[in-house]
Amino acid sequence: MDLALAGRVALVTGASKGIGLATTRTLLAEGARVAAVSRKSTPELDGLADDNLIHVAADLMDPEAPAQAVARTVEAFGGLDVLVNVAGGPPPGITLPHSGFLSADDDEWRAMFELNLFSAVRAVRAAIPRMLERGGGSIINVSSANGRQPSPINVDYGTAKAAMNNLTKALSEEFAPQGIRVNTVSPGPTRTPWWTDEGGVGDMIAAQAGTDREGALTSVVPSAMNLTTGRMAEPQEIADVIVLLASPRSASTTGAEFVVDSGLVKAV
Ligand SMILES: NC(=O)c1ccc[n+]([C@@H]2O[C@H](COP(=O)([O-])OP(=O)(O)OC[C@H]3O[C@@H](n4cnc5c(N)ncnc54)[C@H](OP(=O)(O)O)[C@@H]3O)[C@@H](O)[C@H]2O)c1
């Protein structure tokens, strides 16, 4: 299927690792021009070096940064067609999962919302006028199955993601008549550096379960989380859904939430 993304301009946040990196790689393979945003680059992102790729170094918890990243993208590529808000997860100094609701104070809640919600709000605010100049666009917000299925040990994170789901729907209602589609992709547990890095979630669970990281990721997590497929998702499996939503082939899809969670969420 030709996704008709050749020459389109995309801004991807959280693009140096995990889901954002897979999204960046896939958009480039489809011929899109990509502004990849993260605080630092990685060897994997550097390895994608191409005339169609720029890295924008930015800390999206700085309120000015999302608009600056949009401006940099337009300066480099002449416009903006696609915004993928991927950056998220635990902000610096915060480890997920918590032991429970009482373990997160106001500062942690604020930081969680800054990274997981307000960075996306600010990026959307800056992106929409640019998309309107081009007659439309596609925005994909990466949420989480936790936005739909609350968890006491991720309560601040899940609440921020639930707000993102609500934001997506409201934006889709307002801007669809002007050609901008807004959708959510909600991953379940996915094998990204958040889980696979040394000291990451995989190691935390391995220590609790008395196994090694690989045993935690391939056996303990799928069993404890009752993943119907029996395994965590791969970042590429999330990226493929994001890129389809970025494509004009999804022209009648807006305000939707695509849950890619290995069967974690059991409710209809
Ligand atoms: N992996 C999962 O199991 C899972 C499940 C559900 C939802 N999600 C969601 O999927 C998204 C991506 O997760 P992931 O697992 O791929 O994460 P990851 O492997 O930890 O990568 C996070 C990316 O975001 C960037 N980033 C983090 N803080 C940033 C900041 N302040 N400013 C700019 N960039 C920042 C990181 O680069 P720098 O560190 O260089 O800034 C990196 O590129 C997140 O929104 C997460 O909530 C993930």
| Distance separating alpha carbons of residues 29 and 66, to the nearest angstrom | 25
Among 68, 115, 142, 194, name the best residue to mutate to test ligand 1's pocket (greatest count of ligand atoms within 8 A of Cβ): 194
Nearest to 84 by CA among 40, 29, 131: 131
Nearest to 156 by CA among 99, 204, 113, 115: 113
CB-based contact 5:24 (threshold 8 Å): no
- Identify the three-state secondary structure at position 79: coil
| Distance separating alpha carbons of residues 118 and 140, to the nearest angstrom | 15
| Distance separating alpha carbons of residues 47 and 158, to the nearest angstrom | 33
Among 86, 113, 117, 236, name the best residue to mutate to test ligand 1's pocket (greatest count of ligand atoms within 8 A of Cβ): 86
Query: How far apart are the CA of 177 and the centre of ligand 1, in A?
Result: 31
| Distance separating alpha carbons of residues 158 and 1, to the nearest angstrom | 35
| Distance separating alpha carbons of residues 17 and 235, to the nearest angstrom | 9
- Written as six digits, the tokens of 177 are 């008549």
What positions carry a catalytic annotation? 157
Report the interhelical angle of 106-113 vs 155-175 (nearest 10°): 30
- Identify the three-state secondary structure at position 177: helix
Could you tell me the pTM of the whole model?
Answer: 0.98
What pLDDT, in 10s, does the model give residues 57-92?
Answer: 999 999 999 999 999 999 999 999 999 999 999 999
Collect the ranges in the chain with pLDDT lower than 70. none
pLDDT at 22: 99
Residue ranges of the domains in the chain?
Answer: 9-190+234-260, 194-232
pLDDT at 99: 87
pLDDT at 9: 99
| Distance separating alpha carbons of residues 15 and 40, to the nearest angstrom | 10
CATH fold of 9-190+234-260, please?
A: Rossmann fold (3.40.50)
Q: How far is CA 201 from CA 163, 178, 189, 213, in A?
A: 24, 42, 10, 9
Query: How far apart are the CA of 192 and the centre of ligand 1, in A?
Result: 9
